[in-house]
């Protein structure tokens, strides 16, 4: 997988979570996965279409979800406020992925994105050879947050784009 | 949250009236909390572009804070339709997707400004003052920090 497609997601996760939590975060683990994704907590999925295609899953364990929702809502959020916690995770996914997409678009990659949806199944679809996923685990003061990125760059379109531009 | 000097309408000294449009309830509540610290009043909320247009017609707010990526009708299209019928509408796009092409499209279709999520209160506050221009006045009071 191309690292130039991944780096914006690392940067935006770092920036958005650090701002949201008011404390620094670090990458605890980074691995390539071809197995189907197993959800860790409350997860949101974003689908990309166009020159870059694939999906990104933003997944926060329950403790992290509660802390993030509380921080962002400005009030103590408990496990019983399920809707609020889900909304918080969706909005964070929207912000993190949106910021990364902004960077990629400004670098010349053109694609569209659908609004984030809750990733409810315990296990996602298996990654193919083209879309093996990079799984990043971010350690925050509130718990662990995972980002599963499976993207494919359409080289043919990119070549055509370059040819037209040139 | 940081303390801001209230921004009022210069014509009558009343709070600036906001319509907040975002498909995320959480984002709407967050923005509402923020504009209330600016002394504003949230008069309505909408979760998509179609509702935003009808709510604008019904409420004629001073400022619309509008997300871009939404179901049914996206924010840029909704902004264009509102401004076409109400050229003086003040629409501020608030989105996590802030690439140049998107910003230019929003401004060309009538939006007054763009704020990228996650929204920093101090940034939105300055944008509100800028967008209100002579129609807004900052009320300085004891203890106001901004």
Domain-embedded: residue B22: yes
Domain-embedded: residue B143: no
Number of structural domains in chain B: 1
Tell me the mean pLDDT in the region B31-54: 96
- Nearest Cβ partner for A102 among B25, B99, B118: B99
What is the structure's pLDDT at A79?
Answer: 84
Please state, rounded to an integer, the average pLDDT across all residues of chain B.
Answer: 92
- Domain range for B41: 15-133
Domain-embedded: residue B109: yes
How far apart CA A16 and CA A94 sit, in angstroms, is 10
For A72, the closest chain B residue by CA position comes to: B30
The kind and range of the H/E element at A46 are strand A42-50
The answer to whether the CB of B75 falls within 8 A of the CB of B50 is no
Number of structural domains in chain A: 1
- Nearest Cβ partner for A95 among B23, B96, B120: B96
Domain-embedded: residue B104: yes
Contacts of B33 in chain A (CB under 8 A): 74
What pLDDT tens digit does each residue of chain A (166 aa) get? Answer: 678 888 999 999 999 988 888 888 888 888 887 777 778 899 999 999 989 889 899 999 888 899 888 888 878 888 888 888 999 999 999 999 899 999 998 999 888 888 889 887 766 655 554 557 889 999 988 889 999 999 888 765 544 554 444 4
Residue B76 in tokens? 């840029």
CATH number at residue A145: 3.40.1550.10
- Domain range for A10: 3-165
CATH number at residue B38: 3.40.50.2300
Domain-embedded: residue B3: no
How far apart CA A139 and CA A153 sit, in angstroms, is 29
Domain-embedded: residue B40: yes
Q: Could A106 and B26 be called an inter-chain contact, meaning their C-beta atoms sit closer than 8 Å?
A: no
For B117, the closest chain A residue by CA position comes to: A95
What is the structure's pLDDT at B58?
Answer: 98
How far apart CA A156 and CA A3 sit, in angstroms, is 19
Residue A63 in tokens? 């403790």
User: Is the pLDDT reported for residue B49 higher than 60?
Assistant: yes
Domain-embedded: residue B106: yes
Contacts of B30 in chain A (CB under 8 A): 72-73, 91
Tell me the mean pLDDT in the region B36-48: 97
What is the structure's pLDDT at A165?
Answer: 45
């Amino acid at each position: 997988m191309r690292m130039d497609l991944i780096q914006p997601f690392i940067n935006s996760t770092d920036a958005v979570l650090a701002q949201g939590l008011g404390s620094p975060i670090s990458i605890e683990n980074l691995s390539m996965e071809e197995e189907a994704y197993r959800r860790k907590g409350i997860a949101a999925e974003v689908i990309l279409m166009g020159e870059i295609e694939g999906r990104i899953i933003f997944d926060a364990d329950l403790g992290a979800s509660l802390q993030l929702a509380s921080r962002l809502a400005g009030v103590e959020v408990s496990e019983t406020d399920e809707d609020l916690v889900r909304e918080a995770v969706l909005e964070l996914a929207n912000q993190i992925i949106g910021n990364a997409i902004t960077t990629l678009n400004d670098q010349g990659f053109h694609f569209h994105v659908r609004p984030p949806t809750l990733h409810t199944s315990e296990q996602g679809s298996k990654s193919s050879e083209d879309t093996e996923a990079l799984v990043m685990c971010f350690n925050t003061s509130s718990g662990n947050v995972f980002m599963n990125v499976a993207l494919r760059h359409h080289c043919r379109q990119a070549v055509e784009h370059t040819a037209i531009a040139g | 949250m940081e303390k801001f000097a209230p921004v009022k309408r210069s014509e009558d000294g009343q709070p600036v009236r906001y319509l907040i449009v975002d498909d995320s309830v959480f984002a709407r509540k967050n923005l509402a909390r923020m504009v209330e610290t600016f002394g504003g009043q949230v008069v309505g909320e909408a979760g998509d572009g179609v509702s935003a247009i009808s709510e604008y017609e019904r409420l004629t707010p001073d400022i619309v804070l509008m997300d871009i990526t939404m179901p049914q009708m996206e924010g840029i299209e909704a902004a264009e339709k509102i401004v076409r019928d109400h050229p003086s509408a003040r629409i501020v796009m608030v989105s996590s997707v802030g690439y140049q092409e998107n910003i230019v499209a929003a401004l060309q279709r009538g939006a007054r400004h763009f704020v990228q999520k996650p929204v920093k209160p101090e940034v939105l506050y300055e944008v509100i003052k800028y967008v209100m221009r002579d129609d807004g006045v900052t009320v300085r009071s004891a203890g106001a920090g901004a």
